[in-house]
Chains A and B, each alone.
Chain A
């Protein structure tokens, strides 16, 4: 009974809110007020559906975590908590790296020989006898109070790089997704609305783009252009906007095109451009947000992969962190240099996963077929 008692107010509240909104819509004077109220209502209904999906919420939480990471360095630098000379992700340098005392067990005179630091340490440049204890600076340094995630071989702070990478990833992902959605909705709507030759041309173009492996295209383009981060975002946006997203949105736009309100608008004297912009595109938009999520996932992964291969002209990103760890041989030592290996790799994985999960959860909201019985 108590259970019932506690739960009872909830539907009342929601019903109230809905009633208030309906009143708002009825009372609204201008068209924009009505639109705003309708938008709020559809958002609230969708959120109610989305909230039930625990996996989607988990994705949102991860995205929130990375967003915090992306914002944090600006605050740290602005408040002086971090000084630029030490913590800058690209040019920073730890002036006093921690050191470790090692005993010389063997001296080697050949300066070209590389020796494992734990057993022998001395090359021809250091004068020492067997049995001496010397200080060796640790670079890369494991995590300690000053650098929470340690430093890389060049003495730069890993946490700061990770945060900068988060900022780059968000910028890239959001730009790529926006370009995708803009192009995808326009191409999809235009193809559906005009049909005929325009449709055939746009859809064959889309076929071509989804058929060819995206990474291969990006690799080939990077032979011609030195990619900056935002170039990459725009190129990914164009490729997926004219490609797969256009096809899906076109089929959605076809369904919208035959609705009575489009005919009504046409009878009322709306031009073709107006029909597309004011009536078709707004109804295709919700589905396009879904594809935004998947675009973000693929954009972040493409960026990381290209900078891993070394084809991207960026100063710092997660892919570059992994490339550095790999080129210098830390990656294959796995556990021993974990702070250079795991943060960046897991960050790419988790953020891509988070956007993918949110996309899947949104898919269940947009496609009623996928909901649970």
Chain B
């Protein structure tokens, strides 16, 4: 496993180097020469000022030297200086935006994957019964719906008409006017508490699943879950959280609609995949055996069929990572969610090249890390891969 992991890690790093090289040269060194357009021939900047800016940004250096500076800087965490927000380093902008994207992205991927798997499981089990075709067509409809339009319709229905949720953006500025906290401070606190809570909940579930006996397993699952939730509530509703809570609530409220829309659009794909994977599994002999043993339907479905059907779905997640990031970019654009996708679009349209290269590289890193994690997960889930790789 360790050797396999190391090899995959090495491949990923190599792939990333190729990726960043192509991106950098595509954006900096192409004939259209955006740098000249942006500074030298820009009528709004006096020529001397343009020359100064070009010198300060290091754009007068030979192209290979610029590239080397960027790449070495990248691994030290220095991504250059933004063109449009001039003295502000790109690192600072990214540091603010990246967590916001990761939260949106992780919440959505967990939700839709879970929802899609459950839905697909039931759909396969009900094969040939009424409603199957309607659900399939509805699922395909959600999968292929024109996403920005769908998101805007959701805003119109849920926010504008029903007034349930905020329309867009990251927070409500009027409520934050006299806030004693910065948005990032609140957000990071929210981020860490939720991350720790979910990790604890997951470990409780995992521990409970490891125990064979039903009674202690149930006790651990119930007790652990309650304990973690009580801890979470105590943190936010206790003495420390009283002042910060309304602001955290505001951010959380703004998160609901993007995640909901992202989930709705993506879950159908997982649902249809789970369905076909389940249908294949259900033909296997061990399902017949499980039934013949007299196991209840629920146990056959959840313990035998769904467990095996999970494998191909996990592989599909490898490919889905890119799709979800795509969806994330549109989501951030439509909901004005200040994350990496929003940066990518705005920096590309305003020709802020250092920012665009870095945002795109980070999206590439997210895709690579996503693939890496899923590959590892697949190794854990499928014993065959584990065996062959350890040899």
Do A and B pair up? The answer is yes
Q: How far is the CB of B358 from chain A (nearest CB, A)?
A: 12
Asked whether, in the complex, the Cβ of A301 is within 8 Å of the Cβ of B146, the reply is: yes
**Interface segment, B54-62, B156-164, B192-200, B300-308?**
B156-164
Query: Complex: how many Å from CA A215 to CA B137?
Result: 25
Q: Are the C-beta atoms of A212 and B276 separated by less than 8 Å?
A: no
Is B360 a contact of A348 with CB atoms below 8 Å?
Answer: no
* A210-246 Cβ-contact flags toward B at 8 Å (1 or 0): 1111111001111111000000000000000000100
Q: Which of B26, B137, B319 contacts A220 (CB 8 A)?
A: B26
The answer to whether B15 and A207 touch across the interface, beta carbons within 8 angstroms, is yes
A244 touches B319 (CB 8 A): yes
Docked complex: B337-391 residues within 8 A CB-CB of A: 341, 344-345, 348-349, 351, 353, 356, 360, 363-364, 367-368, 371
Taking a contact as CB atoms under 8 Å apart, the answer to whether A212 and B364 are in contact is yes
Q: Is the beta-carbon distance between B136 and A301 smaller than 8 angstroms?
A: no
Contact of A220 with B27 in the complex, beta carbons under 8 Å: yes
Beyond A208-B18, A360-B140, whether A214 also contacts B148 by CB under 8 A is: no
Min distance, Cβ B264 to any Cβ of chain A, angstroms: 13
Any chain A CB within 8 A of the CB of B242?
no
Could you say which residues of chain A place their CB within 8 Å of the CB of B356? 220, 223
Other-chain residue from A208, A225, A332 in contact with B160 (beta carbon distance below 8 A): A332
In the complex, are the beta carbons of A215 and B326 less than 8 A apart?
Answer: yes
Return B150 CB to nearest CB of chain A, in Å. 8
Pairwise interchain contact B348-A215, C-beta atoms closer than 8 A: no
Interface residues of A in 163-221 (CB under 8 A from B): 204, 207-208, 210-216, 219-221
Stretch at the interface among A7-15, A102-110, A305-313: A305-313
Cβ contacts under 8 Å, A204 to chain B: 15
A304 an interface residue at 8 Å Cβ cutoff?
yes
Assembled-state Cα–Cα distance A40/B51 (Å): 69
Beta-carbon contact of B363 and A305 below 8 Å: no
Does chain A have a CB within 8 A of B316? no
| Partner-binding segment picked from A77-85, A151-159, A279-287, A351-359 | A351-359
* Residues in B neighbouring A220, C-beta threshold 8 A: 23, 26-27, 344, 348, 356, 360
Dominant SS among interface residues on chain B: helix
A311-342, CB under 8 A of B: which get 1 and which 0?
Answer: 10000001000100010000111100000010
A349 interface residue per 8 A CB criterion: yes
**Contact A356 B144, beta carbon cutoff 8 Å:** yes
- Collect the chain B residues with CB atoms within 8 Å of residue A352's CB: 144-146
B360–A216 touching, CB < 8 Å = yes
B374 to chain A, nearest CB (A): 11
Asked whether B329 is an interface residue with its Cβ less than 8 Å from the other chain, the reply is yes
Let me know if A55 is at the binding interface, CB within 8 A. yes
Contact of A309 among B18, B30, B333 (CB under 8 A): B333
Which chain B positions have C-beta within 8 A of A58? 137
B155: A residues at CB distance < 8 A: 332
A216, B344: Cβ atoms under 8 Å? yes
Contact B141 A353 (CB under 8 A): yes
Contact between chains at B140 and A213 (CB < 8 Å) = no
Contact yes or no, B15 A349, CB < 8 A: no
Given known A211-B371, A221-B26, A369-B280, contact A216–B152 (CB-CB < 8 A)? no
Docked-complex contact A212 and B148, CB < 8 angstroms: no
Residues of A within 8 A of B161 (CB): 334
A345 touches B149 (CB 8 A): yes
- Known: A352-B146, A353-B141. Is A224-B344 also a contact (CB below 8 A)? no
Closest to B368 in A: A211
In-complex Cβ contact of B32 among A214, A224, A308, A334 (8 A):
A224
Q: Is B317 interfacial (CB-CB < 8 Å)?
A: no
Q: Is there contact, CB below 8 Å, between A305 and B330?
A: yes
Contact of A35 with B by CB under 8 A: no
Q: In the bound complex, do residue A353 and residue B140 qualify as a contact, i.e. CB atoms below 8 Å apart?
A: yes
Chain B residues with CB under 8 Å of A213's CB are 322-323, 325-326, 329, 363, 367
Select one of A215, A331, A369 contacting B329, CB under 8 A: A215
A363 to B364, CA, bound (A): 31
Question: Known contacts being A216-B329, A216-B344, A219-B345, is A224 close to B363, with CB within 8 Å?
Answer: no
Which B-chain residue is minimally distant from A244 (CB atoms)? B319
Question: Please, what's the 1-or-0 string for B158-175, where 1 marks a CB less than 8 Å from any CB in chain A?
Answer: 001100000100000000
Q: How far is the CA of A321 from the CA of B319 in the complex (A)?
A: 31
A223 touching B34 by the CB < 8 A rule?
Answer: yes
Do B152 and A326 touch (CB < 8 A)? yes
Q: Any chain A CB within 8 A of the CB of B115?
A: no
Pair B136/A332 contact, Cβ less than 8 Å:
no
B319 cross-chain contacts in A, Cβ below 8 A: 210, 244
Closest to A344 in B: B149
Interchain CB contact under 8 A, B34 and A55: no
Query: Is A297's beta carbon under 8 Å from chain B?
Result: yes
**Taking A309-B333, A311-B349, A370-B276 as contacts, is the C-beta distance between A322 and B34 under 8 angstroms?**
no
Q: Bound state CA distance, A55 and B147, in angstroms?
A: 22
Q: Which residue from B141, B280, B330 sits with its C-beta under 8 Å from A215?
A: B330
A58 CA / B141 CA spacing, docked (Å): 13
Contact indicator A349/B326 (Cβ below 8 Å): no
B153 in the interface (beta carbon within 8 A) = yes
Q: Which residues of B contact A48 (CB under 8 A)?
A: none
Report the Cα distance A353→B322, complex, angstroms.
20
Q: Do A305 and B147 touch (CB < 8 A)?
A: yes
**Given the contacts A220-B356, A345-B149, A349-B146, A211 and B15 also touching, CB distance less than 8 Å:** yes
Q: Is the CB of A349 within 8 A of B345?
A: no
Q: Which residues of A contact B322 (CB under 8 A)?
A: 210-214
Chain A: CB-nearest residue to B161 = A334
A54 to B150 CA separation, bound complex (whole angstroms): 26
The listed residue (A216, A223, A318) touching B325 by CB distance below 8 A is A216
- C-alpha spacing A51/B118, complex, angstroms: 31
Q: Which residues of A contact B256 (CB under 8 A)?
A: none
A260 to B196 CA separation, bound complex (whole angstroms): 59
Residue pair A356, B143 in contact (C-beta under 8 Å): yes
Find out whether the CB atom of A216 lies under 8 angstroms from the CB atom of B34: no
A311-B326 Cα distance, complex, nearest whole Å: 15
Nearest Cβ on chain B to A182's Cβ, whole angstroms: 23
Query: Chain B nearest CB: distance from A223 CB in Å?
Result: 4
B133 within 8 A of A: yes
What is the minimal beta-carbon distance from A276 to any residue of chain B, in angstroms?
27
Query: Nearest Cβ in chain A — how far from B39, in angstroms?
Result: 16
List, sorted by A's number, 25 A–B pairs whose CB atoms are closer than 8 Å.
A54-B133, A208-B15, A212-B19, A212-B363, A213-B329, A215-B330, A219-B344, A219-B348, A220-B344, A222-B348, A224-B30, A224-B34, A297-B144, A301-B144, A309-B148, A309-B345, A322-B148, A331-B152, A332-B152, A332-B160, A333-B160, A334-B153, A334-B157, A349-B141, A349-B150
Name 9 extra pairs, CB < 8 A, besides A221-B26, A305-B146, A333-B160.
Answer: A55-B136, A208-B19, A211-B364, A311-B345, A322-B146, A322-B148, A334-B156, A334-B161, A349-B149
